[in-house]
Amino acid sequence: MSEVIYVNGEFLPKDQAKISVFDHGLLYGDGVFEGIRFYGRNIFRLEEHLERLYSSAKYIMLKPPKSHQELIELTAETCRRNGHDDGYIRLIVTRGEGTLGLNPYACTEPGLIIIASKIQLYPQEYYEKGLPVIVAATRRFSPDGLSPRVKSLNYLNNIMAKMEAIHSGVQEAIMLDQSGFIVECTGDNFFIIRKGVVFTPPTYQGALRGVTRDAVIEIAKEKGIEVREERLTLYEAFEADECFLTGTAAEIIPVIAIDRRPIGDSKPGPITGDLIAAFRKITTEQGVKF
Ligand code: PMP
């Protein structure tokens, strides 16, 4: 069965789902998006994803063409029409069709695309054995220019770091901010565990407020594990007992080496394992059913 995609008011088969070449989403990366997973016909934390979408849109002064409630219904309907029980949603709001100049006010109306498909980010073996990562030379861009917390359609900064990872023979790269503190990875939030305490960089430092990050923080606290949102240097990362990354596509993935330094005993750690098990449980419970 061909996938059905929602594009600007219509549900269309994949090969007919098209947008204008004058859409500023394409011309300038002018737009915002969300990556959302569904598990057993439950769209995990859809409301939280939409909240973040509206925050990103507000920052760039873009008004999504649908209300929060309408977006919930359209997203659920896109899932229903595609017949997958588990999968990955890409929800995109673009500035819309405009002229060849930058002026966003020349764009007629915002575009809306919803895709409900499948994704696997890292090969399965890394979930079992853990992921080696590098530290990218490419720094996360400064909030002076644009807040890195905006989930915009321009991911070139992250893509440059991702290429560094691939060129080094690994899947993922840690990105530092302009002062050399760890912010996050190219598409995932970053966590370490040291002496039973979970640490992650604070969002005001520029890390995306990951929906998975929030879920993991909540789970850890419920388990009575102390969680600290603190600036972290590579020193803290290298001496950590455990390390893991979180993201909608990645879920929770253990990290076993950073720039060739083994983390802990080079195996996925026990607390990480407990968090993964608890996370799996809530993925089918919290969210919007379709
Ligand atoms: N950081 C960046 C840069 C991301 O693109 C993402 C989403 N892929 C994340 C963190 C993780 O966020 P979430 O858990 O909401 O997917």
Q: What share of the chain is helix, strand, coil (3-state, %, to 5)?
A: 30, 30, 40
Mark whether 133 and 275 lie in a shared domain: yes
In a domain, 164, yes or no: yes
pLDDT of residue 21: 97
Q: Token pair for residue 64? A: 């999504």
CA 207 / ligand 1 centre spacing (Å):
9
Contact 5, 17 (CB under 8 A): yes
In a domain, 288, yes or no: no
In a domain, 289, yes or no: no
Contact 35, 90 (CB under 8 A): yes
d(CA 47, CA 53): 10
Mean pLDDT (whole number) for 142-155:
95
Mark whether 142 and 236 lie in a shared domain: yes
Mean pLDDT of the chain: 97
Q: Would you call 23 helix, strand, or coil by DSSP?
A: strand
Question: Is residue 109 over pLDDT 80?
Answer: yes
pLDDT digits (tens, 9 = 90+) for 8-53: 999 999 999 999 999 999 999 999 999 999 999 999 999 999 999 9
Last residue of a domain, one of 117, 139, 157: 117
Mean pLDDT (whole number) for 93-112:
97
Atom of ligand 1 nearest to the CA of 158: 3
Nearest to 97 by CA among 178, 10, 27, 183: 27
In a domain, 290, yes or no: no
Mark whether 46 and 93 lie in a shared domain: yes
pLDDT of residue 208: 96
Mark whether 145 and 82 lie in a shared domain: no
Helix 46-59 vs helix 68-82: angle between axes, to the nearest 10 degrees? 130
Mark whether 185 and 67 lie in a shared domain: no
Mean pLDDT (whole number) for 225-248:
98
| Count of domains observed in the chain | 2
In a domain, 287, yes or no: no
CATH number at residue 68: 3.30.470.10
Mark whether 159 and 74 lie in a shared domain: no
Mark whether 142 and 261 lie in a shared domain: yes
CATH number at residue 229: 3.20.10.10
Distance (Å) of CA 209 to CA 147, 184, 243? 12, 10, 18
Last residue of a domain, one of 83, 117, 151: 117
Mark whether 223 and 151 lie in a shared domain: yes
Atom of ligand 1 nearest to the CA of 213: 14
Question: Is residue 181 over pLDDT 80?
Answer: yes
Contact 32, 62 (CB under 8 A): yes
Question: Is residue 173 over pLDDT 90?
Answer: yes
Mean pLDDT (whole number) for 166-181:
98
DSSP 168: T
d(CA 73, CA 67): 10
d(CA 86, CA 100): 39
Q: Which domain does 113 fall in, by range?
A: 4-117
Other Cβ atoms less than 10 A from the Cβ of 147: the count is: 17
pLDDT of residue 1: 63
For Cα atoms 121, 122, 125, give the angle at the middle one, nearest 5 degrees.
Answer: 150
Mark whether 128 and 271 lie in a shared domain: yes
User: What residues are labeled active site?
Assistant: 151
pLDDT digits (tens, 9 = 90+) for 240-287: 999 999 999 999 999 999 999 999 999 999 999 999 999 999 999 999
Output the ligand 1 site: residues, CB below 6 A. Answer: 35, 158, 184, 187-189, 208, 210-213, 246-249
pLDDT of residue 10: 97
Mark whether 47 and 93 lie in a shared domain: yes
Other Cβ atoms less than 10 A from the Cβ of 96: the count is: 24
Mark whether 134 and 273 lie in a shared domain: yes
Last residue of a domain, one of 68, 94, 117: 117
Mark whether 145 and 263 lie in a shared domain: yes
How is 198-252 classified by DSSP, letter by letter?
EEE--GGGT----HHHHHHHHHHHHTT--EEE--B-HHHHHT-SEEEEEETTTEE
CA atoms within 13 A on the CB side of 9: 4
CA 168 / ligand 1 centre spacing (Å):
22
CA 199 / ligand 1 centre spacing (Å):
17
Mean pLDDT (whole number) for 92-114:
97
Ligand 1: residue whose CA is nearest its atom 12: 210
Question: Is residue 99 over pLDDT 80?
Answer: yes
pLDDT of residue 121: 79
Which pLDDT band holds residue 2 (cuts at 50, 70, 90)?
A: confident
Question: Is residue 184 over pLDDT 80?
Answer: yes
Among all chains, which residue has been given the structure tokens 């600290």?
Answer: 228
Nearest to 74 by CA among 118, 51, 43, 40: 43
